[in-house]
Amino acid sequence: MAADLTFTSWSRPEAGHRWMVAEPVNGSGESHRYLVPGVGMAHRYGPASETGLFRHFAEIEPTEASVLGFADAYGSLGGTVAEPIAIPSGERSIVGAGERLRSWVSEIDAMRRMVNLWDLARSRDARLGDYVLWQEPGVRWVDADQRGRLQSSEWIATDKLYPDLLDRFPRGDVVGPALHLVQRQVNRKLVEHGVSARLLWDARYTRLGLHIVPLSLIGFLWFQFAQAIDGDKDYRRCPDCRKWFESTPHATRSDRVFCSPSCKASAHRKKIAEARRLYAGGVGIKEIARQLDSTPAKVQGWVNPSGRQSK
């Protein structure tokens, strides 16, 4: 089945976003602070080129500033996070979409917890026992929020709820129950944010194909996580830009270290600048080579490009 991702383009406003006080359109008349996109031109980009974006999302700090930074880089989340709000415009108001901090934090928390659980389950990490507990009458999941408060808890299986599932887990097993919980929560999110199948035309309008289409950025993030689980994918953090990216086993060594050729080049430029800084401060060539994990011949070329011998 041709069920590939066709979410090739998403937009973010060139003017960025801002936090403002507004009223929900169908609400109680109570005002809240909302993240709203700036007016004007939108910049289109393909979120699928950022292969580890769901991991980046899972690490956002639960603050207005951090959320604003992510939204300015990748756009609003949409999905069930967006609410219709009345935005004051002169004497009247216009209806627009706004996103509350607590809706963002709820998605970030959910993603962070499930990614963490999946990572621990894949590596058979003993810390899984902090999250998956065998207690009468079954097995349950518990987790804290980013401030350490116990916030979430759910029975994975009991003698009444999914008794067949409970029988399948060897008693004391934490990996199986953890993966079942991840499966359940990811599926809920895919439904909640409307990630669904669509028949779409190819670029030349000659053939209809079946595709899975996330209609919002938040839907895309959960779908990207689901693809990571499906493909049992590995991720690395780029040492230059600090972004997560999918590490493919067939890439060359340097491609596996950096997320892109531009980050590789940028890291190289920083290394040369650092070598020159150390050299100007009186550090010897051999010591610089040791500190920067390089060779004295290379360092010599960086600090003294004209090729004259020194220290």
CB of 222 to Zn ion, least distance (A): 24
When the beta carbons of 59 and 173 are compared against Zn ion, the nearer one is 59
When the beta carbons of 207 and 242 are compared against Zn ion, the nearer one is 242
State which amino acid sits at residue 79: G
SS (H, E, C) 242-307: CCEEECCCCCCHHHHHCCCHHHHHHHHHHHHHHHHHHHHCCCCHHHHHHHCCCCHHHHHHHHCCCC
CB of 203 to Zn ion, least distance (A): 30
The only residue of 263, 285, 288, 299 in contact with Zn ion, by rule CB under 5 A: 263
Contact predicate 35/104, CB 8 Å: yes
Q: Scanning residues 123 to 162, which ones bind Zn ion (CB under 5 A)?
A: none
Buried b (16+ CB within 10 A) or exposed e, 226-241: bbbbeeeeeeebbebe
The only residue of 241, 267, 272, 283 in contact with Zn ion, by rule CB under 5 A: 241
**Helix, strand, coil fractions of the chain, as percent rounded to 5:** 40, 25, 35
The only residue of 240, 278, 279, 303 in contact with Zn ion, by rule CB under 5 A: 240
Which residue, among 76, 64, 84, 146, has the nearest Cα to 111 in the 3D structure? 146
Choices 116-124, 175-183, 235-243, 274-282; region in contact with Zn ion by CB under 5 A: 235-243
Does 53 bind Zn ion (CB under 5 A)? Our answer is no
CB of 71 to Zn ion, least distance (A): 20
Number of H-type helices and E-type strands within the chain: 10, 13
When the beta carbons of 49 and 63 are compared against Zn ion, the nearer one is 49
Rounded to whole angstroms, the Cα distance separating 231 from 221 reads 15
CB of 263 to Zn ion, least distance (A): 3
When the beta carbons of 211 and 237 are compared against Zn ion, the nearer one is 237
The only residue of 226, 238, 275, 289 in contact with Zn ion, by rule CB under 5 A: 238
When the beta carbons of 212 and 263 are compared against Zn ion, the nearer one is 263
Does 221 bind Zn ion (CB under 5 A)? Our answer is no
When the beta carbons of 132 and 238 are compared against Zn ion, the nearer one is 238
Rounded to whole angstroms, the Cα distance separating 98 from 32 reads 10
Q: Which helix (H) or strand (E) holds 235?
A: strand 235-237
Cis? peptide before 239, omega within 30° of 0: no
Rounded to whole angstroms, the Cα distance separating 283 from 276 reads 10
CB of 259 to Zn ion, least distance (A): 3
Rounded to whole angstroms, the Cα distance separating 239 from 253 reads 14
Choices 40-48, 185-193, 226-234, 263-271; region in contact with Zn ion by CB under 5 A: 263-271
Q: With contacts defined by CB under 5 A, how many residues of the chain interact with Zn ion? A: 5
Does 67 bind Zn ion (CB under 5 A)? Our answer is no
The only residue of 259, 275, 289, 303 in contact with Zn ion, by rule CB under 5 A: 259
Q: In the complex, which residues of this chain contact Zn ion (CB under 5 A)?
A: 238, 240-241, 259, 263
